[in-house]
Amino acid sequence: MNKRYLGALILSPLIIFLFVGGVYLKYFTLIVSLVGMHEFFTVVKVKNINALSYISYGVAIIYYTILLDTSMSFQTLTLLIVAAAFIMLCVPVINTKYNFIDVAVSMLGFIYVAVFFSFIVLVNGKTYGRYLIWLIFISSWLCDTTAYYVGRFLGKNKLCPKVSPKKTIEGSIGGLLGSAAACGIFGFIIKSYGVNIDLIHFILIGLICGVFCQFGDLVASSIKRYVNVKDYSNLIPGHGGILDRFDSILFASVVVYYYVSLVIGI
């Protein structure tokens, strides 16, 4: 079996959890986050960074446990982040094996992976969340797909050659338009299911995600380039690791959540 098809088969349970939502999606996302954090902390070891990984894992588990329970506010998240940073900064004093860079990377791993992933759960918990959650994946998948094919057939001008040599400006524009078109079509379809949101918002979400999905991809590439690895792991055949496959989704989830919250007001 082709490795990419095998990888897609491994990823298929995600679709089930997206449909089911609720507490099942929350704890599935926690597991994915912990695996992604492990990948992140593993690759940074190449640069002799000793992340306080177990503290970060513990903070992630606490965070997901209280996520959506009793309407967890971002004030609680802030308190959790401050408490984690407070404790981690004390560790290098007790054990000189660690330093402030290790602490900073440990906090980054929690925020970049666990918190960014959690916006999938937070979007699902909103009004129309069972529909809006798909915007995260539609924008990411269509942006990646159209960028790839437009870049392959029309790409001539490099986008960020020092970060990702194969990406082109033409492909980037194609990804942007592909994401906007796909989200617009999705918005038109779900109107018939009682989703009372103007179509323009779906197009704008697609456009913004089309920009930041590509940033998510390039951020992951820049980290891998810095530590000189091709993939974060070999967990998913033909796709690499969790962070290789979900790099753009991490950024799309943040965009969708804040657009829906701040612009649409849901």
Q: Could you tell me what percent of the chain has a pLDDT over 90? A: 75
Q: Are 32 and 13 in contact (CB under 8 A)?
A: no
Select from 181, 176, 201 the least CA-distant residue to 191: 201
State both tokens at 95: 């054990």
169 band by pLDDT with thresholds 50, 70 and 90: very high
State both tokens at 45: 């070891």
Residue 7 pLDDT: 54
Residues sharing a CB contact under 8 Å with residue 227, sequence separation 6 or more, in sequence order: 43, 44, 46, 47
- In the block, residue with structure tokens 């506010």: 73
- Residues, the chain: 266
CA distance 42 to 248: 20
Residue 70 pLDDT: 47
Q: What is the DSSP letter of 246?
A: H
State both tokens at 101: 């860079």
Residue 160 pLDDT: 87
Mean pLDDT of 176-183: 96
Q: What is the DSSP letter of 46?
A: G
Residue 1 pLDDT: 47
- The mean of the pLDDT values for the chain is 90
Mean pLDDT of 63-81: 76
Q: Are 56 and 110 in contact (CB under 8 A)?
A: yes
